[in-house]
Amino acid sequence: MKIRVLPGVLALLAAPAASAFCGFYVAQADASLFNQASQVVLVRHGDDTTMTMANDYRGSLSEFAVVIPVPVAVTREQVKVADKAMIDRLDAYSAPRLTEYFDPDPCPDPRDLMRVYKSEQRAMTVEDDEGMAAPSSRSLGVRVLDAYTVGEYDIVILSATQSSGLETWLTQNGYRIPANAGPILGSYIKQNMKFFVAKVNLREQAKTAQPYLRPLRISYSSPKFMLPIRLGMVNADGPQDLLVYALTERGRVETTNYRTTKLPTQESVPEFVKEDFGTFYKAMFAQQVKDEGMETVFTEYAWPLTLQCDPCSADPITGDELRALGVSWAAPDQYGYGQQPAYLTRLHLRYDLAHFPEDLTFQETADTGTWQAIYPIHHAFTGDTSCPAGRTYETELARRQQLEVQTLVSLTGWSRSWAQSRIPRRPGAVPPPPDNGGGGFWDWWK
């Protein structure tokens, strides 16, 4: 059988406007702000965490501001701006993917029998369609622990003793706080969390000559292995999506306070799915979220970087790229690709306040296995199938296509008749079994 690997980098997260998983964007004018989708890279090594947050803010740069609770005060040396390309590389490398298989000729010419089928590999990349002053702080119980500029961001690290003081301070300094953020800020204050507050320094931003904001990378040392998502839900307009790329030394990462489960994988789907894999994947993800009652975190990829990806949807991640994301223990690249002593887990969740009331906490497990969300498609042979073996092939093909339609319907919730209509008619093909709409329970007798 001729096999071609066609990894599809999924255009998964449509983020029409700004997004913030763990903080909230606070506008200084009436800009429309939404939280829809976010990407974050979490590197965890012992008690050290490095968090890189993709910024897909699309509003006016002068209005951008973000407040992120952090377990400890973060110094100037611990904040960096990262290259968005690094996150895109992780996305491309770990994205759910299609694999293509080509059916062999059922009526081969004997002269061709010795031919060696070569597999070819090709990557199909789809772009993600998806962003001070301190007056009378002491009287408000707010302490400015540090203030510095990193890249295009003016950053202030705050500690506070009461939420009302913090709210007042933020308001006085031009940050617009959502009305009901107070109790959550208060909870973080009592948990001794600090606040990382960032605005855009327009002069520095102009120097970068980039139209967008680069990701912020924050490092700190704390036993807390968590992501604060509560503030991000305060001004959320409906459920949000979050993609977490966790890089650890040993094993798979999972949430400890929510169920982590794996998506359906290795499910053969009809050929036409290739035309719009992104739409298929979005529908399937939505269906899985629905089936799990929106209470589950989904694993999309879990693979040690010591092993070669199989199939690869992008070039392997290099040591330099890993170091740029905070993987301090990455190996030099001279050992070649696929030899990095790290484990990559990609988690995807859709969440809102009703289903995810508390922040996400994680653990690194001892699971060092390989797992990926992969969906094979089988291309039917398109040549002459008039020989006896060819007729058998046509019968088998019709049955296989029915199964693929059934799989597609159960994965996505799409209409069976619509999916059926997308299967191309084959000249001289055996007619497909009748559609009884019942999911093929009686197919067993055939």
Partner 1 sequence: MPRDPRWYQLASLATLLLWGLVGLSFEVTSLQAVLTISAALATQWACTRVWRLPTFEWKSALITSFSLCLLLRTDTPWFAAFAAFLAMASKFVVRVRGKHLFNPANLAVVVGLLSGRAWVSAGQWGNTALLAFFLAGLGTLVVTRSARSDVTIAFFLSWAALHLGRAWWLGDPLTIPLHRFQSGALLLFGFFMISDPKTTPDHPVARVLYACIVAYVGFSIQFLHFRTNGLMWALVVCVPLVPLFDLFFRARRFEWSAPSRPWSLA
| Interaction site with partner 1 (CB under 8 A) | 183, 186-187, 190-191, 222-225, 250-251, 254-262, 292-293, 295-296, 357-358, 361, 363, 365-369
Amino acid, res. 85: A
Provide the minimum distance between the beta carbon of 204 and partner 1 in the complex, in angstroms, as a whole number. 35
Provide the minimum distance between the beta carbon of 71 and partner 1 in the complex, in angstroms, as a whole number. 8
| Cβ distance to partner 1 smaller for residue 190 or 379 | 190
| Cβ distance to partner 1 smaller for residue 183 or 383 | 183
| Cβ distance to partner 1 smaller for residue 186 or 440 | 186
Render the burial of 26-64: b for 16+ CB within 10 Å, e for the rest. Answer: bbeeebebbbbbbbbbbbbbeeebbbbbbbbbbbebebb
Q: Are 244 and 22 in contact (CB under 8 A)?
A: no
CA neighbor of 145 nearest in space, from 82, 201, 204, 220: 220
Q: What are the residues whose beta carbons fall under 8 Å from the beta carbon of 71, sequence distance 6 or more?
A: 193, 194, 220, 222, 224, 226
DSSP secondary structure code for residue 239 in this structure = -
Provide the minimum distance between the beta carbon of 167 and partner 1 in the complex, in angstroms, as a whole number. 13
Rounded alpha-carbon distances, angstroms, from residue 309 to 94, 219, 399: 9, 28, 32
Stretch (H or E) spanning 329? none
| Cβ distance to partner 1 smaller for residue 38 or 296 | 296
Provide the minimum distance between the beta carbon of 408 and partner 1 in the complex, in angstroms, as a whole number. 21
Q: Are 5 and 119 in contact (CB under 8 A)?
A: yes
| Cβ distance to partner 1 smaller for residue 36 or 296 | 296
Provide the minimum distance between the beta carbon of 250 and partner 1 in the complex, in angstroms, as a whole number. 7
| Cβ distance to partner 1 smaller for residue 169 or 258 | 258
* Alpha helices for 173-318 (secondary structure H): 182-190, 202-208, 277-291
Cα–Cα distance measured from residue 52 to residue 435, given in angstroms and rounded to the nearest whole number: 50
CA neighbor of 25 nearest in space, from 208, 227, 234: 234
Provide the minimum distance between the beta carbon of 189 and partner 1 in the complex, in angstroms, as a whole number. 9
| Cβ distance to partner 1 smaller for residue 75 or 261 | 261
Stretch (H or E) spanning 180? none
What does the chain come to in residues? 446
Provide the minimum distance between the beta carbon of 80 and partner 1 in the complex, in angstroms, as a whole number. 25
CA neighbor of 9 nearest in space, from 90, 102, 100: 90
| Cβ distance to partner 1 smaller for residue 33 or 184 | 184
Provide the minimum distance between the beta carbon of 353 and partner 1 in the complex, in angstroms, as a whole number. 8
Q: Are 42 and 246 in contact (CB under 8 A)?
A: yes
Provide the minimum distance between the beta carbon of 319 and partner 1 in the complex, in angstroms, as a whole number. 24
Amino acid, res. 365: T
E strand intervals along 336-440: 343-351, 360-364, 371-372, 374-379
| Cβ distance to partner 1 smaller for residue 164 or 420 | 164
